[in-house]
């Protein structure tokens, strides 16, 4: 009985991951203004947050004001969303 419950839980997780990937494929954006963030399951969220904070400082060097603004907004949005994530799927 426990084996079937584990299998159902695993099947549900696979289904949710496939559904999430399908949603991500439908997203569209313009060049550097669309930021995709993939977090490996063994990476800590705090490490990713620190990396994004470094990216914010590096993106200050973008010459185009509009692109710089859009990139900074995207990274800031990611940082805000990472605060709500406790477990990486």
Instruction: Say what the pLDDT of residue 54 is.
Output: 95
Q: Which of 11, 10, 17, 5 is nearest to 89 (CA)?
A: 17
Q: State the total domains in the chain.
A: 1
What CATH number corresponds to the domain at position 16? 3.30.960.10
On whether residue 65 sits in a domain, the answer given is yes
On whether residue 78 sits in a domain, the answer given is yes
CA atoms of 39 and 44, how far apart (whole Å): 9
Q: Which of 35, 64, 69 is nearest to 52 (CA)?
A: 35
Q: Give the predicted TM-score (pTM) of the model.
A: 0.63
Tell me how long the chain is. 89
pLDDT at 19 over 90: yes
On whether residue 88 sits in a domain, the answer given is no
On whether residue 77 sits in a domain, the answer given is yes
Q: Show the DSSP H helices in the chain as ranges.
A: 2-25, 45-59, 65-82
Q: Quick: pLDDT tens for 22-59.
A: 988 887 766 666 777 888 888 889 999 999 999 999 99
Containing domain of residue 72, as a range?
2-82
Band of residue 8 on the pLDDT scale cut at 50, 70, 90: confident
On whether residue 87 sits in a domain, the answer given is no
CA atoms of 82 and 46, how far apart (whole Å): 9
């Amino acid at each position: 009985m426990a084996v079937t419950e584990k299998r159902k839980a695993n099947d549900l997780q696979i289904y949710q991951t496939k559904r999430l990937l399908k949603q991500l494929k439908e997203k569209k954006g313009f060049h550097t203004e669309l930021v995709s963030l993939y977090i490996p399951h063994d990476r800590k969220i705090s490490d990713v947050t620190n990396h994004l904070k470094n990216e914010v400082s590096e993106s200050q060097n973008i010459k185009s004001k509009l692109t710089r603004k859009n990139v900074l907004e995207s990274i800031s949005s990611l940082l805000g969303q990472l605060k709500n994530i406790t477990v990486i799927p």
